[in-house]
Structure formats: structure tokens, C-alpha cells
Chains A and B, each alone.
Chain A
Amino acid sequence: MSISLKVRGDTESRNLEVHYLPAKINGNGSTDVSNYFSSYTREGQGNLLTNAIRGFPLNGEIVEVPTTHSSYVLQETEFSNTEKSRNIYVTGNFSNFYYWNYDKIPSNGDAYKQALYLFNISKEFSEPVSETDIQIEIENRRKI
């Protein structure tokens, strides 16, 4: 089974306003985000933002998507019953988003920030090793 990702021609698709909330919401659907949430965003010291959801205080900041990547919101429009070929389309993209923490100032200790190290590490890890390096390593090993 493979899923085809239709990104073609969507490089200049619409820009979305995206909030990354520290809450589990059991449900999908539309709601008046701008009226009930975004309009309550206040700017504090520095670039720190504050808001609240259901009375729980949120601390946040605007976070740029890593420069090596483009961020897309994907949507599977129709579920085919065959499951042999599925298509996923791009709804829109965003270059930055609101990153919210529950009652905690965003820092480099956050799981999201830590996860971004992955890009550096996996890049390093995926670099090919030259054959001479391997030979040197084997010879060094044999000496021991």
C-alpha cells in the first residue's frame, strides 16, 4: 500500500494561522478560533505571549519552522475503500506557528525543541562513509 502525496503546484498555497496547543482535544471540527482564542492573545515581556484555554493559563511564542523543512497541513479528502491507492492533498502551509505551553515559559527544554535536534543528528547519521575510512578503521582494529 502506498499513499501518494500531492504537493505539486502547492508551493505557494495559502498561509495558515496555526496554534500548537498543550491540550488533548477529543474531536475535530470547526470552531470560531479567532473570536474565542486568538483575540485573547496578549503580548508580555519580550516575545512572550499569554493566553488561556478554559481558564488554564498558557505561555507561548511564535516559533519558526526549521529552515531545512517546509511545513504543510495535509488532508486526505476521500477514503478509498480499496486502500491500494490513497491520495493526500495539501490544505495549506505555514512558516511559523504559535507554540503554547501550559503555565510554563517556552524553553529549549521543551520536548518540541529537543525533537528538532533530530534533524541535525539524522543528517550526520545518514552521511555516507568513505571506503578508505572503513579500511583505516578495520586496520586500527586489527592492531588492537
Chain B
Amino acid sequence: MSKKSTRSSKPTEETVVPAAKAPALYKVMFISKELLEDPENELTLEYFYHPGKGKPTLFITKSNTELMEVKEFAEPRRCWLINNDVCSNGRIYMTTPIDITLLALHHIRLHRSQKALALDDIGEADDKSTLRLLREFIRGEEHLRCIADVKKANGMVFYKYNAEKTLAWLAIKTRRVTEKLRSIGVHCGQSAMSKNYVRGELEGENREESDMDYLRMACDIVGDYLDEDLYEELKKYLDIPEEKPLTTAPKKEEKEKGGKKRKSLQQLNSNENKKIKLEDKGKNATDKLKSSGLVDGSPTNDHSRPNSSSSEEVSPLSVVQAPITPSPVKERNLTAKEKALAKSAKGTKSIASFFSKK
């Protein structure tokens, strides 16, 4: 019992020890200087509901007035060496500005079928982070007038979601992002796949396409902050056609090609079959010729014997190869040839048998 108790106690000690001695876990973060202007202000990392991701994500707030998004840059294989320490977390956490209206939009849309609501009534009572977001960070009219109708009564302000305004607002934002993308020269659309090579081709003929690519990319960026159905509405509003998916389109072609290939293969096979038949016919003809020659005299026997011996050499090969070849699909042609050989061998055998009979 005592042994057991020591055994059971040991692992608990072991689990405690590394936790206490755990090496310092570093994180590298790029913090916007706007947040650092006043060193007295305290920065806080908080979770708020992110409509694009559909779950709470990390934001950074400064003294209940400013809010920024925390984005993670994560390449699959990256790590840091910080002075003499290894940091396995190769991510960079970056703070990026965000229009807080985008965060409010989701909550306002939830109540779109209802009457205008006061800001405090928009968030669910049990959802503290949303209440905090709405109460602390959203400066009522200033942030919401672009997506909602504002009604004032008895000193209270009520908001009702306005779809037309919202789409117009989002469209303006999307166009701005489009312009920005173009001015930066971000590669997008089909050319993005081969950034290192393509540039010259873009300038001329495909200009319109690339305009649409920029717009689509901008819309995707904006859409990352929207509910899915609103994102679809925005795409419709901006007349962005369904993307000819780069991945699926070639597949379709491939499928078609594949179909063609299959057909052509079939045709080839059928051709081969025909050829084989033709050859068979030809052989029959030669057989007939030979048979006709055989009738003439004995010297043909000398010819026929090496033929028959060669056919005997071929036939065991074909027998050996035949059971191996069916498994790999690639060697179908070979099998066809071998079949042909086998058939021809059979033909020659039949000659031999023909001879033996005679």
C-alpha cells in the first residue's frame, strides 16, 4: 500500500514541478503606436464576438475608449530566437485598426425585424462582452448612423437596422479598399498564383478582369467581418459575379478531358480490338496462304518448325506475364499487345496442330 501511495504521489509531483519550472513562454507582438501614445493608459486583451468568424476573438482595448483587432501572423514553420531563448511560438500578433461599427452591425441586424431599440436593449443580458462593447466603445449615433435609422424620443435614442444604408456604406468601404489594394499593387486574382512571374501581362488586355479581381478581393476582405448572408447581399449589390473557381474549373476541364480521354481510350481499345481482328483476319489469310503453301511440299515444314518453336517461346512468356499484368492499370496496352501475341500464338499453334494433323 505504501508503495502504491508513493507511486501515485510521484506523478502528481512531477506534473507540478515542470509547471513551476516551465520556461518563459514568449509572444511577439506588434502594437500600434496609437495605442501607446499615452503610457498611463492600460491596454487590455479582450474577447468580443467577431461576426466574420462567428465566435469570440481577441481584441485589444485601451482605457475603454479605443479598440483594435489582434491579428495573428502564423507561417507553418517559424520560431523566434530572443536573445538566448528559443520561442517556439513563431506567430506575430499584430494590432490592426477596425471600424467598430462592423462589430455592432451583427448585433443590430439580429433585431432587424423588431422595432427600434435603445443601445442597451440590443445586447443579450447574459452576454457581458457584447454589453460592454455596446456600452463602452460604441459612441451611439456616431458609430451607428451609417447602418441604422436613428430615432430620438424623450431624450432616448433608438436604432433600427437599415439595409439600404448598410449596403451603401459597405459598398463605399469596399471601393476604398479596392483602390488601396490597387495603389499598393497587391497581386490578386489569377495572377496572384504566380506573383514572381506575372506583371507585364496584367497591364494590357486583362485590365478589366484585374479590376474585378481587385473588387472581389476587397469584397472578400470586407466580407471577413460580415455575417454570411450579409456578405452574399454585398456581393450581389456590387455585381460581383460568382468566381470562376480556379480550382474547380480546371477540374471540370480535366473531367471533360478525362471523359474524352476515356472515350478516346475506348476508341483506341476498340481500334486495337479492330486491329486485332484485322490481324486475326490477316493471319487467317496468311494461314490460308501458308496452308496453301503447305500443300505444295515439304520445304515449308522447315519454315514452319522454327515458327512453331518461336511460338512456343512466346507462349510461356505470355502465360507468365498475363497473370502479373492485370493488376497495374497502366499496362493495359501491354496486356492488349500480349493478348494479341497470345492470340497470334494461338493462331500459330493452330498452324502446328494443322501440321500435326496433316
Chain A, range 79-134, C-beta contacts under 8 Å to B = 79, 88, 91-92, 109, 111-112, 114-115, 117-129, 131, 133-134
- Is B137 part of the binding interface, using a Cβ–Cβ cutoff of 8 Å? no
Q: Count A-B pairs with CB separation below 8 Å.
A: 210
* Interface residue from B27, B36, B165 paired with A73 (Cβ < 8 Å): B27
- Evaluate contact between A25 and B86: CB separation under 8 angstroms: yes
- Is A55 part of the binding interface, using a Cβ–Cβ cutoff of 8 Å? no
Task: Known contacts A69-B32, A76-B25; decide if A137 and B168 are in contact (CB<8 Å).
Answer: yes
Residues of chain A contacted by B173 (CB below 8 angstroms): 125, 129
Residues of chain B contacted by A111 (CB below 8 angstroms): 73, 75
Task: Known contacts A26-B88, A28-B86; decide if A74 and B165 are in contact (CB<8 Å).
Answer: no
A56 nearest CB across to chain B (Å): 11
Interface residue count on the B side (C-beta < 8 Å): 67
- Evaluate contact between A19 and B81: CB separation under 8 angstroms: yes
- Evaluate contact between B169 and A134: CB separation under 8 angstroms: yes
- Is A48 part of the binding interface, using a Cβ–Cβ cutoff of 8 Å? no
Interface residue count on the A side (C-beta < 8 Å): 70
- Is B312 part of the binding interface, using a Cβ–Cβ cutoff of 8 Å? no
* Interface residue from A1, A8, A37, A128 paired with B81 (Cβ < 8 Å): A37
- Evaluate contact between B169 and A125: CB separation under 8 angstroms: no
- Is B115 part of the binding interface, using a Cβ–Cβ cutoff of 8 Å? no
In the complex, what distance in Å separates the CA atom of A132 from the CA atom of B47? 33
In the complex, what distance in Å separates the CA atom of A20 from the CA atom of B30? 14
- Evaluate contact between A65 and B30: CB separation under 8 angstroms: yes
Residues of chain B contacted by A115 (CB below 8 angstroms): 73, 92, 94
- Is A45 part of the binding interface, using a Cβ–Cβ cutoff of 8 Å? no
Nearest first, the 4 A-B pairs at minimum CB distance are: A122-B96, A19-B81, A137-B168, A3-B45
Residues of A within 8 A of B (CB): 1-9, 11, 16-34, 37, 65-66, 68-77, 79, 88, 91-92, 109, 111-112, 114-115, 117-129, 131, 133-134, 137-138, 141
